[in-house]
């Protein structure tokens, strides 16, 4: 790495003169300044970020706080990180990745050190403990997510409430009345991660408006956990014909399990996922999906931070529109599949009034793991074929799904 001393030697001046040229703290003759600047260009010298911070200069570094969890869907995180990096370079900035395992202490350290001129925070919780630290330090920042109270810091996110509502509308328009929502692992809901909570809230609200009977089941996203969740859904609601999936890891196992249980997609069961178009195209059948531009999400976050760095007032909340692409995994309710009539007075999260013929009031308890080890009846399901690791083959009648959670 080129040093100040090497620049000084090339320019024929002292190291202190080079420092004054860089800092601008003392007047330097035009001829001397030109020699120093030419030496900097020829040697490829880059000032140390910490030294620039001490000198009161910008570091031209932007910190991106990324989630460090085993359940993170890496392709989406990488797409966002690449988008942030490319957008930052357009402004002459480099990106420093910071993992969120340090919590608010890590944010405080970055802000206090002067290492970064601004911070983008991902994986935002509804009551995120990092927000008070950002407000206290005053470092230009943007939240990639929507907290419960977005005042005080600019936020950008996909409109996940609308995305959840779009899933409910799509299946309702196709005639589905009993719908299961297979979500992220329980830990995300316990931590109240914004995108998970907002999607579920939008789905529930629209389902209530449309008179749908719904279940929400968290899922770890493995084959075994998805098998347990599906067995529990079909045991509780044998008439379920619609599935909404907000868990990338559970999509493949769900399609495989539906197929092995004798349910053809989309003739007998419709599946809509909240995932990227790239992932949706990889499955057979190709998935109907609700998604958004994660590339644009990254660009907007950088813009908000740069507005703060340049002392411009950034917009407080920016929500990007989700897009629904209808592919092969959703269709009208199949002939011969019993369909419950819409209920005029739906209750929250899967509880309905027993006004329609053949229906009853059903609560929707969610266990801590979102799966069950019990073997229950699944209505019209056929026998299960070869199962994944940790599952047992069906040993009872053909209307039982022999899986464990």
Q: Which DSSP symbol is given to 247?
A: -
Report the alpha-carbon distance of residue 38 to residue 55 in Å, rounded: 22
pLDDT band at 332 (very low <50, low <70, confident <90, very high): very high
Adjacent-strand bridge partners of 63: 96, 119
Interior/surface letters 138-174, b for 16+ CB within 10 angstroms, e for the rest: ebbbbbbbbbeebeebbbbbbbbbbbbbbbbbbbbeb
| pLDDT 10s digits, 33-61 | 999 989 988 888 876 655 555 555 688 89
Assess whether pLDDT exceeds 90 at residue 224. yes
**Residue 68 dihedral angles phi and psi, to the nearest 5°:** -120, 85
Fold classification of 4-46 (topology level): 434 Repressor (Amino-terminal Domain) (1.10.260)
pTM to 2 decimals? 0.71
* Residue-level pLDDT at 19: 81
Which one is the CATH code of 160-291+323-350: 3.40.50.2300, 3.20.20.80, 3.40.50.150, 3.40.50.720? 3.40.50.2300
Assess whether the region 4-46 and the region 61-159+294-320 belong to the same CATH fold.
no
Output 291 or 395, whichever has higher pLDDT. 291
Residue 188 burial (CB count, 10 A): 21
* Residue-level pLDDT at 57: 66
Assess whether pLDDT exceeds 90 at residue 200. yes
* Residue-level pLDDT at 59: 83
Dump the DSSP string for 51-88: HHHHTT----EEEEEE---TT--HHHHHHHHHHHHHHH
Domain boundaries, the chain: 4-46, 61-159+294-320, 160-291+323-350
Spatial contact of 193 and 250, defined as CB atoms under 8 Å apart:
no
* Residue-level pLDDT at 108: 83
| pLDDT 10s digits, 271-324 | 999 999 999 999 999 999 999 999 999 999 999 999 999 888 877 899 999 999
Output 22 or 358, whichever has higher pLDDT. 22
CA distances for 45 relative to 52, 55, 204, 237, angstroms: 13, 17, 57, 67
The arithmetic mean of pLDDT across residues 2-26, rounded, is 85
pLDDT band at 388 (very low <50, low <70, confident <90, very high): very low
The arithmetic mean of pLDDT across residues 167-194, rounded, is 96
Assess whether pLDDT exceeds 80 at residue 390. no
* Residue-level pLDDT at 74: 82
* Residue-level pLDDT at 382: 35
Assess whether pLDDT exceeds 50 at residue 134. yes
Spatial contact of 103 and 130, defined as CB atoms under 8 Å apart:
yes
| Residues composing the chain | 405
| pLDDT 10s digits, 237-281 | 999 999 999 999 999 999 999 999 999 999 999 999 999 999 999
Adjacent-strand bridge partners of 214: 179
Assess whether pLDDT exceeds 80 at residue 337. no
* Residue-level pLDDT at 314: 72
The arithmetic mean of pLDDT across residues 127-145, rounded, is 91
The overall average pLDDT reported for the chain is 81
Percent of the chain, pLDDT > 70? 79
Spatial contact of 156 and 318, defined as CB atoms under 8 Å apart:
yes
CATH superfamily of 61-159+294-320: Response regulator (3.40.50.2300)
* Residue-level pLDDT at 377: 32
Assess whether pLDDT exceeds 70 at residue 150. yes
* Residue-level pLDDT at 53: 52
* Residue-level pLDDT at 227: 97
Q: Is 155 helix (H, G, I), strand (E, B) or coil?
A: strand
């Amino acid at each position: 790495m080129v040093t100040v001393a090497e620049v000084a030697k090339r320019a024929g001046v002292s190291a202190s003169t080079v420092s004054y040229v860089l800092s601008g703290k003392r007047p330097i003759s035009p001829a001397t300044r030109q020699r120093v600047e030419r030496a900097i260009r020829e040697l490829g010298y880059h000032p140390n970020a910490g030294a620039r911070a001490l000198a009161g200069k910008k570091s031209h570094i932007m910190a991106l706080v990324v989630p460090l969890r085993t359940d993170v869907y890496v392709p989406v995180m990488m797409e966002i990180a690449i988008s942030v990096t490319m957008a930052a370079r357009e402004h002459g900035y480099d990106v420093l990745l910071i993992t969120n395992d340090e919590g608010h202490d890590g944010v405080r350290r970055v802000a206090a050190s002067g290492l970064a001129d601004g911070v983008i925070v991902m994986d935002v919780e509804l009551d995120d403990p990092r927000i008070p630290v950002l407000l206290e330090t005053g470092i230009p920042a943007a939240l990639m997510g929507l907290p419960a109270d977005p005042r005080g810091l600019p936020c950008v996110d996909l409109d996940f409430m609308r995305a959840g509502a779009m899933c409910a509308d799509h299946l309702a328009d196709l005639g589905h009345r009993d719908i299961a929502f297979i979500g992220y692992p329980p830990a995300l809901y316990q931590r109240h991660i914004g995108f998970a909570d907002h999607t579920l809230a939008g789905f529930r609200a629209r389902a209530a408006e449309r008179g749908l009977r719904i279940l929400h089941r968290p899922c770890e996203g493995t084959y075994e956990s998805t098998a347990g969740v599906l067995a529990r859904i079909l045991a509780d609601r044998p008439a379920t014909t619609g599935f909404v999936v907000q868990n990338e890891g559970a999509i493949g196992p769900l399609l495989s399990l539906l197929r092995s249980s004798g349910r053809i997609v989309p003739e007998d069961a419709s599946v809509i996922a909240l995932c990227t178009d790239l992932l949706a195209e990889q499955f057979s059948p190709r998935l109907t999906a609700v998604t958004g531009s994660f590339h644009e999400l990254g660009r907007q976050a950088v813009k908000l931070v740069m507005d703060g760095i340049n002392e411009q007032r950034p917009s407080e909340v920016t929500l990007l529109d989700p897009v629904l692409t209808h592919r092969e995994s959703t269709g009208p309710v199949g002939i011969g599949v019993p369909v419950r009539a819409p209920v005029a007075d739906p209750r929250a999260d899967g509880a309905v009034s027993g006004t329609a013929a053949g229906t009853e009031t059903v609560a929707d308890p969610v266990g801590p793991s979102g799966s069950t080890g019990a073997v229950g009846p699944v209505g019209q399901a056929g026998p299960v074929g070869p199962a994944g690791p940790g599952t047992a083959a069906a040993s009872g009648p053909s209307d039982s799904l022999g899986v464990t959670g």
